[in-house]
Amino acid sequence: MNIRSLFAVSCVAAFLLIGASFSVASEAASLLEKNMSETLDVWRDGQYEKLFDQLAHRGKTSREMFVKNMRASTTRPACCWQKMENFKILNEKRTEATVYVKIGLDSVADSSESITREFKLTHQEGVWKMQLADVLSIAGVTGKKRSSARRYSAKNSVYHD
């Protein structure tokens, strides 16, 4: 083989390898986005028992307490194109990834709003799972009781102690 042929073959091989790596990265991004989107759909549909199973790092929260808290929340992910926007992978390893995304929210108190932030996803049982704490935080549900804090209830237009 002459130098020109060897150079041409090397360039084609490099181009194919680069294209393959972009394809693998694109597949990983689409799987992360797909799994997160499906989790948000289950939440929006009010399937809280199924949602509990799709989340990672449950900690001390029982299924019953999770379902009760989620039913009490008035915040849910928005539908369709507003559900997830600007999805970006910040860091991905074999079993965990960090993504940055804007999630649209529907709420009884506010007609719609959104939250844009980083989310840690964990790869378990063949799927990427959102963290239970993130879902509770977005829903406005925490494990701590606010006995001394005053919070505003837009539903009743009154302050609660």
Which domain CATH number covers 126? 3.10.450.100
- In-domain check, residue 158: no
Query: How many domains does the chain divide into?
Result: 1
The pLDDT-based confidence of 143 (bands split at 50, 70, 90) is: low
- In-domain check, residue 151: no
- In-domain check, residue 154: no
- What is the domain range of residue 25? 3-142
pLDDT (average), residues 76-93: 95
Angle value at C-alpha 76, between 72 and 82, nearest 5 degrees: 170
- In-domain check, residue 79: yes
Retrieve residue 73's tokens: 């929340």
From residue 27, how far is each of 20, 35, 116, 132, 153 by CA, in Å? 11, 12, 23, 25, 43
- In-domain check, residue 36: yes
Contact criterion met (CB below 8 Å) for 32 and 121: yes
Residue corresponding to tokens 């539908």:
79
- In-domain check, residue 153: no
Q: What is the 3 state secondary structure string of the chain?
A: CCHHHHHHHHHHHHHHHHHHHHHHHHHHHHHHHHHHHHHHHHHHCCCHHHHHHCCECCCCCCHHHHHHHHHHCCEEECCHHHCEEEEEEEEECCCEEEEEEEEEEEECCCCCEEEEEEEEEEEECCEEEEEHHHHHHHHCCCCCCCCCCCEEECCCCEEEC
Which stretches of 100-160 are DSSP H helices? 132-139
- In-domain check, residue 52: yes
Q: Which residue has the higher pLDDT, 17 or 122?
A: 122
The pLDDT-based confidence of 127 (bands split at 50, 70, 90) is: very high
- In-domain check, residue 156: no
Candidate from 35-39, 54-58, 74-78, 139-143 with smallest mean pLDDT: 139-143
